[in-house]
């Protein structure tokens, strides 16, 4: 496709209802259209593939890409736009139910952050990059969330923390406890379905005897 003259690529983009050549490349890269479809249209050759978005047939590749980007099971919607690539920012890993905000990145699509993400503070002044986003609906996917628990070090503490997490239906990916003088610092990585499940876990951990505090960790 890189060998096609730019003016022809622009025409092809218009035929697909896209305003820019970059949007056409993004659609091919994301899997919305195959390169074969685009080239067949350019050369006027017949193709066995229907000239419509590939995702209508829900191929494995498209679903895999969406899953890797945190989409599909819990889709993210850019309000007013249908064809923008969207991904959850790794610094805060937003989960369904979080208050979110989108920022247009350079060449990667729209990064979605939680509004309380520390990195968002650095982006608030770049209003031209801000874009409205929303969660797309129900989800059965799980998302990684990091927690930090500070508590008085005592026997049975970890057992009670893990019991709270298990009772809420969450899976523990990693769990590590470190001594901090007379206290304990417990770091846990959980698989969370949505904000409601997370808030239940946080509230019940705070009720454990000897716990001073528990918070969600963001990667700055």
| pTM value surpassing 0.75 | no
At 148-193, the pLDDT tens digits run 999 999 999 999 999 999 999 999 999 999 888 889 999 999 999 9
**Which positions ≥6 away from 209 have C-beta within 8 Å?**
160
Torsional sign, CA 87, 92, 97, 102? negative
CA–CA separation, 13 vs 24, rounded Å?
A: 6
Say if residues 178 and 188 touch (Cβ distance below 8 Å). no
Q: Exposed/middle/buried for 151, CB within 10 Å: 0-12, 13-18, 19+?
A: buried
Beta bridge partners of 100: 114
pLDDT above 70 (res 48)? no
Query: What is the set of domains in the chain, with CATH numbers?
Result: 1-67 (no CATH), 69-139 (no CATH), 143-217 (3.30.70.260)
């Amino acid at each position: 496709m890189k060998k096609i003259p730019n003016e022809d690529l622009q025409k092809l983009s218009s035929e697909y209802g896209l305003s820019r050549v970059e949007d056409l490349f993004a659609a091919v890269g994301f899997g919305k259209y195959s390169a074969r479809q685009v080239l067949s249209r350019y050369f006027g050759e017949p193709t066995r593939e229907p000239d419509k978005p590939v995702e209508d047939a829900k191929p494995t590749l498209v679903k895999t890409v969406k899953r890797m980007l945190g989409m599909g099971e819990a889709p993210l919607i850019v309000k007013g736009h249908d064809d923008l690539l969207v991904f959850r920012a790794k610094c805060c890993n937003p989960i369904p139910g979080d208050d979110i905000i989108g920022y247009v990145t350079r060449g990667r699509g729209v990064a979605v952050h939680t509004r309380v993400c520390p990195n968002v503070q650095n982006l608030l002044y770049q209003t031209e990059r801000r874009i409205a986003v929303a969660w797309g609906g129900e989800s059965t996917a799980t998302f990684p969330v990091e927690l930090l628990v500070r508590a008085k070090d005592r026997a049975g503490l970890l057992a009670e923390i893990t019991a709270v997490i298990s009772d809420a239906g969450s899976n523990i990916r990693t769990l590590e406890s470190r001594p901090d003088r007379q206290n304990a610092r417990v770091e846990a990585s959980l698989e969370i379905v949505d904000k409601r499940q997370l808030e239940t876990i946080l509230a019940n951990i705070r009720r454990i005897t000897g716990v001073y505090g528990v918070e969600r960790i963001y990667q700055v």
